[in-house]
Amino acid sequence: MARTIKRLRHLPVHPDPIVPSKYLRPYGVIMSAVRSDGQLLETAVSEALKASPRLIVLRTPAIYIPAEVDQFVNSAAGKAAILQSDLHYEHGKGRKVTPDIVVVDQDREAIDILELKRGMAKTDAGKTRQTERDLRCQRLVAKSFAKETLNIDVTTTTACVCAIHGFSAVSPDLQVSLGELEVRYGVDLQSVVERTYKEFGRQLSELLSEQALEDDLPNLMASFELIEPASVSVY
């Protein structure tokens, strides 16, 4: 969060034909802050999960999808067939994907691959299809990935989108709610998210106020220069 605020503080101001010049800096800061929201959420959630001794948490690990896995998902195989299958994983072989968080739950003997989304805007159909395909591919190699990468045997594998604010266009079988993750891991993630938003909002508000004062300073100084000094009487 501190790095994000520092970056926003030194964000360059770019002209925009529809934004009045005096609003360019706050506009740029707010738009950039919104785009940073995902990373803030990922960091907050992953750090909260790492505090649980039963969980192994990987942040944006590289997972490679072999061509045969892509072919299987793109074939006529139904969802049931895909869910009942597990395919071999070989690190470095195939196209690379980087999910937001991978959680190995040692109590459940499970590996969960998670994409965290704000869930406040619709995505285009092409991006939704790509997300669904990537999730199905990752779930197919998840069991082998856990063994190959972490030398851990798991019996349960999932790959889902968690939309923090509730909306996702992906298929229901590829969704998991924040509340469901709380129950699954025994971690109060909702409070973590709320605290993160509250603190980031406070720091962002302070930054915008500071910058507004800086931007108005030349006008303020000019107004002082227009004030004639009071005459001094000498007795």
pLDDT band at 212, cuts 50/70/90?
A: confident
> What's the pTM?
0.80
- The counts of H helices and E strands in the chain are 7, 6
Per 3-state DSSP, the chain is made up of helix, strand and coil in percentages (nearest 5) of: 55, 15, 30
Using one digit for the tens of pLDDT, what is the confidence trace for 89-127? 999 999 999 999 999 999 999 999 999 988 656 677 889
Hunting for tokens 């793109």 — which residue is that?
Answer: 74
Q: Is the model more confident about 204 or about 119?
A: 204
Q: Which residues contact 196 (CB under 8 A, 6 or more apart)?
A: 1, 40, 41, 44
With a cut of 80, say whether residue 37 has pLDDT above it: no
Residue 202, Cα to own-chain centre: how many angstroms? 20
Cα–Cα distance, 19 to 113 (Å, whole number)? 40
With a cut of 70, say whether residue 225 has pLDDT above it: no
Using one digit for the tens of pLDDT, what is the confidence trace for 46-79? 999 999 999 999 999 999 999 999 999 988 676 7
85 sits in which H/E element: none
Cα–Cα distance, 56 to 172 (Å, whole number)? 26
Q: Which residues contact 87 (CB under 8 A, 6 or more apart)?
A: 66, 68, 69, 72, 140, 141, 144
> Is the backbone of residue 175 left (phi > 0), alpha (psi -120 to 50) or beta?
beta
What pLDDT is stored for residue 235 in this prediction?
46
The whole-number average pLDDT for the span 154-177 is 92
With a cut of 90, say whether residue 204 has pLDDT above it: no
- 110-127 burial, b at 16+ Cβ within 10 Å, e below that, comes to bbbbbbbbebeeeeeeee
Q: Is the model more confident about 211 or about 151?
A: 151
Listed residue (140, 132, 82) closest to 111, CA to CA: 140
For residues 95 and 70, the answer to whether their CB atoms sit within 8 Å is yes
Mean pLDDT of the chain: 85
Side chain identity, residue 210? E
The whole-number average pLDDT for the span 9-23 is 81
What pLDDT is stored for residue 232 in this prediction?
45
What pLDDT is stored for residue 149 in this prediction?
94
Using one digit for the tens of pLDDT, what is the confidence trace for 128-143? 999 999 999 999 999 9
For residues 159 and 103, the answer to whether their CB atoms sit within 8 Å is no
